[in-house]
Amino acid sequence: MPEDVNRETVERRRDRLLDEYGEVRLHEEGEVVDAERFPELRKLARDGYTGGAYAWVVRRPEQAADLTESMPDEVDEDVAVLMILGRGGKRWGLAGGGREAGETYEEAAVREVREETGVDCELTDLFLIRHRVATSDGDHDERLHKLSVFFDAAYAGGHVAIQPGELAGAAWFDRPPVRLYPENAVRASTFWDDFETDGDPLTMYRE
């Protein structure tokens, strides 16, 4: 029998989120990891890593910074969403990252958004949980469980300021960029009326 690493912990945390937030989309999936990389992920899992948390941060027009004098008067601000571009990345994603020991996924999301972008946010809801089970394409027989948790959030202050070397960019979008990670596409499909996909983004392609 394969050993399920972190299964009980992940399922307990997953069930807590589902109980607390009510009707939330849960996507359960398996992923096959290269045998050379698997030991590193296994060590992280055994050290207590159970995944990460991310936030779809919305800024209302009245919360936007004042325009500089060089900007034309007719520029209109609209509701905007904060997204990031990772180093070497080709798709825009949500700010967030790994949950640290002693944190809830909520605390991890707020902390990571601030650390990555300089923006403060307040979580308002939960729209997606991805429960992933990783196995090796080699002779390792463990199954590594983790959660990726995606929250709705409201802008609470700060200005975008990324650390050099951490991200390629971060920006507010009042319409969806062309290339999105699957989780963004899921949320964009209900946030922007004119955003359409040809199928379920979570099953159409992987990161």
Beta bridge partners of 8: none
45: domain range? Answer: 4-204
Burial classification of residue 53, based on how many CB atoms lie within 10 Å of its CB (0-12 exposed, 13-18 middle, 19 or more buried): buried
Q: How far apart are CA 93 and CA 169, in angstroms?
A: 10
Predicted pLDDT at 74: 44
pLDDT bin (cut points 50, 70, 90) of residue 72 is very low
Give me the pLDDT at residue 15, please. Answer: 96
Tens of pLDDT, residues 192-202: 987 777 778 88
Are 177 and 83 within 8 A, CB to CB? yes
- Number of structural domains (the chain) is 1
State if pTM tops 0.85: yes
Q: Mind spelling out the 3-state secondary structure of the chain?
A: CCCEECHHHHHHHHHHHHHHHCCCEEEEEEEEECCCCHHHHHHHHHCCCCEEEEEEEEECHHHCCCCCCCCCCCCCCCCEEEEEEECCCCCEECEEEECCCCCCHHHHHHHHHHHHHCEEEEEEEEEEEEEEEEEECCCCCCEEEEEEEEEEEEEEEECCCCCCCCEEEEEEECCCCCCECHHHHHHHHHHCCCCCCCCCHHHHCCC
135-139, 161-165, 195-199 — most confident range: 135-139
Distances (CA, A) of 179 to 90, 132, 189: 7, 23, 14
| CATH number of the domain residue 174 falls in | 3.90.79.10
Top mean pLDDT of 15-29, 67-81, 82-96, 181-195 is at: 15-29
Question: Could you read off the pLDDT of 94-126 as tens digits, one per residue?
Answer: 999 999 989 999 999 999 999 999 999 999 999
